[in-house]
Chain A
Amino acid sequence: MLYDIGTVFWRDWIVLRRRLGTFIFSRMIAPVLYLVAFGWGVGRSVQVSQGSYLDFIVPGILALNSMNISFNSVGGPLHTGRMYHKTLEEYLVAPISPLAFVLGKVLSGTMRGLISSVIIIILAYLFGANFHLNGLLALVLTLNCLIFAALGFVVAMLIDSHEDMGNFSTYVLLPMSFLCATFFSTDKLPSLVRWLLELLPLTHASDALRATSAGGEPTGLSWFVLTIYVAALLGISVWAMEKVRE
């Protein structure tokens, strides 16, 4: 089982290693834009309760960026692998369990999400942001990456058309990346909207990252919601892997 997870991961790793420079460079573009536009540009005239606006949005940028990278690095290639290159077949006819394949793919998406998070942290320091780096922050980031890598897996298995893959990002990921406590605090939103946002994993990832980067601890509710999402989406991934044979 571990060996099979390693095999699936190894394949993604050698593909990434070949383009590591390009990968890292392209991952810098979006965070730099966010940091310039919101940190420098908008941030100068915005007051938040804790420190500068730049300090406030760095955890948000980390949350939304690790979400996008983890989702896209599993969802995109797996979808083309299943629908166009048919490379998924090689794994389906191999004597490995569906869970091993799911974990290998999700872990490789998580790795990409974490690499891009490290890039953002370095950039944020260069931009002069203040925040605490600690084990809890790394743990929250990892959970967030696991959630969206697994979501990418599920979506790639269940959606057949390339266009609908794009639509999923537009309807689900894009709204989350703006609404889930990434660029502003949800405190002042109407309670119904706030309640809805509390159901989404990215809200808790942003809150938890903000808490740890300020030197505090995430709430128990955030840990609970993030863990539930990881478990549920991994379970659905295995189910989707079985369903894809039909």
Chain B
Amino acid sequence: MLTRRTSGTIKINGWQAPADEHKIKAILGIVPQHFNLDPDLSVWENLDLHGRLQHMLPNVRHERTAELLEYVELSERGADRVQNLSGGMKRRLMIARALLHRPQILFLDEPTVGLDPQVRRRLWDLIRRLNSENITVLLTTHYIEEAENLCGRVAILDKGKLIALDSPAELCQRVGSYVTEWAADDGRETRFFPSREQAAEFAGELTMTTTIRRSNLEDVFVELTGRKGIG
């Protein structure tokens, strides 16, 4: 892989890294956060190189390349040099590249950083479609709403430690499904409740304007990482 492990083991499909590294690499698709397409090659050649590196037969490779370019809506750009593509196009091409060898697991590192909202939504649709086609998608993100929208299970990391791992709904339930929010002297205050009634009851005791709403993943994140107000 890209970097050597410092400790621990990785097990996928019963295979363990680094001993079974080549087997694991063949079922992984990886889309890093930064662009790492080959600027000296065309769109098509970038995919072809990947297919060759993954030992795909020429006819399978060509068919799959055409199919994926269609899938990420880049069919017309096959002969273009990569440096002439926009950010969103590059990202889509990188996803197509990662999918070329039909991986079982797709890693997306911050897939929508720096993209405008429309492009981001299109990528979300693409990721949902992949997941419905039985590909395990593992993505990292700083956009909590992205995790809430896309993920079946969410892991929260705090200073490198795993502090929660569950579905977004379960995580919300854990801190309390309802939130009472009010303005205090030093910013907004929130408090979690298991039911709307309890939240309303508490709100009734307050003298200032309050909002009662369902809790979301962002609330959970802030509550669990406990870094309220830290920039």
Contact = CB atoms under 8 A, between A and B. Distances in A.
A227 interface: no
B4 A246 contact: yes
Contacts of A85: 36, 38-39
B1 A245 contact: yes
A7 B36 contact: no
Given A15-B40, A94-B54, A86 B34 contact: yes
Interface string A87-124: 10111111110000000000000000000000000000
Contacts of B4: 245-246
B52 A7 contact: yes
A4 to B, nearest CB: 7
A14 B53 contact: no
Interface in B43-74: 45, 49-50, 52-55
B19 to A, nearest CB: 13
B224 interface: no
A162 interface: no
Nearest to A6: B52
B32 interface: yes
B102 interface: no
A91 B35 CA distance: 15
Among B30, B36, B53, B55, chain A packs the most CB atoms within 10 A around the CB of B53
A132 interface: no
Contact of A3 (B36, B49, B55): B55
A11 interface: yes
B199 to A, nearest CB: 48
A221 B52 CA distance: 41
A90 B50 contact: yes
Contacts of A96: 53
In the complex, which range does the number of interface residues on chain A fall in? 20 to 34
B126 interface: no
Contacts of B50: 90, 94
B86 to A, nearest CB: 17
Contacts of A11: 38, 41, 49
B49 A90 contact: yes
A127 interface: no
B218 to A, nearest CB: 31
A79 to B, nearest CB: 14
Contact of B3 (A4, A81, A90, A246): A246
B25 A95 contact: yes
A95 B28 CA distance: 10
Contacts of B34: 86
B1 A92 contact: yes
A81 B22 CA distance: 23
B26 interface: yes
A7 B49 contact: yes
A10 B4 CA distance: 28
Contacts of B21: 95
Interface of A: 3-4, 7, 10-11, 14-15, 81, 85-87, 89-96, 245-246
29 contacts: A3-B55, A4-B53, A7-B49, A7-B52, A10-B49, A10-B52, A11-B38, A11-B49, A14-B45, A85-B38, A86-B35, A87-B39, A89-B2, A89-B32, A90-B53, A91-B53, A92-B1, A93-B2, A93-B25, A94-B53, A94-B54, A95-B22, A95-B23, A95-B25, A95-B26, A95-B53, A245-B3, A246-B3, A246-B4
Given A11-B41, A87-B39, A89-B2, 10 more contacts: A14-B41, A15-B40, A85-B38, A87-B38, A90-B50, A92-B1, A93-B30, A94-B54, A95-B53, A245-B1
Give the 8 A-B CB pairs with smallest separation, nearest first: A94-B53, A86-B36, A95-B22, A95-B25, A7-B52, A15-B40, A87-B38, A89-B36
